[in-house]
């Protein structure tokens, strides 16, 4: 099997995979606590000092590796996003900026945690982030593809790609750009991307999907042993027409992708 088929299995049945992830006992328990307690959080200090809430929020925004940085995140949330010199705007981390926008205590005060951006949206992001992480344990290429699918619409120029290492990895892999170019001047890198990409394409779900088909095929060329663990279940899903989760992907399409992979080698 391949990164392409594993990704397509999930992408074509995304809502079902999200539901299964949300229903996982560990995820469900964490979400239940978050929903029961987030409304009582009225300040940045309260948020960072409630470890379970803080960890949930940080993971939802892809910042799970930064849960140690409570003081920094508290300052980010206290400063908000209005000032150009606010930490959220100067740290060059799109996930931190998204966090500050969702929990904008400076602008909304105690009402911040009553808004959908800090409640329903965070739960949805936590579930999706968990799904991506779980898939990444089997195949990092699938995790990257799912991440790109969820965030492609945020791409407006070369700099927005360069600021996000996951988006950059997908673009570099798809276009055959060496990762060593990341050592070059950032303006030169942005100019190169300007020549190769039409950024408006990333607002079109169909074009995003086509881009990810190219990415997953090329990822398999670069990582021929990447896909593990779920091959037999994916085969059943793809070719068992009686299965309720059958994707309807034709054999000819799968074969053409496999031929593409072999031809690249």
User: CA-CA distance, 200 to 28, in Å (whole number)?
Assistant: 37
Architecture of the domain delimited by 139-264? Orthogonal Bundle (1.10)
Q: Among 145, 191, 192, 185, which Cα is nearest to 169's? A: 145
The reply to whether domains 19-122 and 139-264 share a CATH topology is: yes
User: CA-CA distance, 158 to 72, in Å (whole number)?
Assistant: 27
Q: Which two tokens stand for residue 37?
A: 């307690």
Query: So what's the pLDDT on residue 224?
Result: 83
| CA angle in degrees (0–180, nearest 5) for 24-29-34 | 125
DSSP for residue 265:
-
User: CA-CA distance, 182 to 200, in Å (whole number)?
Assistant: 23
3-state secondary structure 28-91: HHHHHHHHHHHHHCCCHHHHHHCHHHHHHHHHHCCCHHHCCCHHHHHHHHHHCCCCCCCHHHHC
User: CA-CA distance, 102 to 118, in Å (whole number)?
Assistant: 6
Query: So what's the pLDDT on residue 92?
Result: 86
pLDDT digits (tens, 9 = 90+) for 110-157: 999 999 999 999 999 999 999 999 999 999 999 999 999 999 999 999
Give the Å distances, CA to CA, from 153 to 58, 64, 137, 182: 21, 23, 25, 22
pLDDT digits (tens, 9 = 90+) for 41-65: 999 999 999 999 999 999 999 999 9
Query: So what's the pLDDT on residue 227?
Result: 53
Query: So what's the pLDDT on residue 231?
Result: 39
Average pLDDT in the 162-183 region?
Answer: 94
Q: Among 43, 53, 58, 51, which Cα is nearest to 105's? A: 43
Buried b (16+ CB within 10 A) or exposed e, 238-250: beeeeeeeebebe
Give residue limits of the domains in the chain: 19-122, 139-264
Q: In the CATH hierarchy, which fold is given to the domain comprising 19-122? A: AGR_C_984p-like (1.10.3700)
pLDDT digits (tens, 9 = 90+) for 58-101: 999 999 999 999 999 999 999 999 999 999 999 989 999 999 99
Of residues 246 and 175, more confidence is placed in 175
pLDDT digits (tens, 9 = 90+) for 221-235: 998 876 554 433 343
């Amino acid at each position: 099997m391949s990164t392409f088929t594993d990704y397509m299995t999930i992408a074509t049945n995304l809502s079902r995979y999200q539901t299964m992830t949300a229903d996982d006992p560990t995820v469900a328990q964490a979400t239940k606590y978050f929903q029961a307690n987030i409304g009582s959080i009225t300040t940045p200090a309260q948020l960072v000092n409630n470890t379970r809430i803080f960890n949930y929020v940080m993971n939802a925004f892809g910042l799970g590796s930064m849960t140690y940085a409570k003081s920094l995140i508290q300052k980010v949330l206290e400063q908000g996003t209005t000032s150009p010199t606010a930490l959220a705007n100067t740290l060059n981390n799109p996930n931190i900026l998204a966090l500050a926008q969702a929990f904008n205590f400076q602008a909304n005060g105690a009402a911040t945690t009553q808004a959908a951006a800090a409640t329903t949206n965070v739960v949805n992001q936590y579930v999706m982030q968990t799904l991506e992480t779980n898939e990444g344990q089997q195949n990092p290429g699938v995790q990257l593809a799912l991440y790109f699918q969820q965030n492609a619409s945020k791409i407006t120029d070369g700099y927005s790609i360069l600021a996000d290492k996951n988006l950059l990895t997908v673009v570099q892999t798809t276009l055959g750009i060496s990762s060593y170019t990341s050592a070059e001047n950032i303006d030169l890198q942005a100019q190169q991307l300007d020549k190769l990409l039409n950024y408006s394409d990333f607002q079109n779900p169909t074009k995003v999907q086509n881009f990810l088909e190219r990415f997953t095929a090329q990822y398999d060329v670069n990582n021929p042993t990447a896909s593990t663990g779920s091959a037999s279940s994916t085969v059943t899903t793809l070719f068992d027409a009686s299965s309720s989760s059958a994707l309807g992907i034709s054999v000819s399409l799968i074969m053409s992708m496999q031929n593409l992979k072999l031809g690249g080698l």
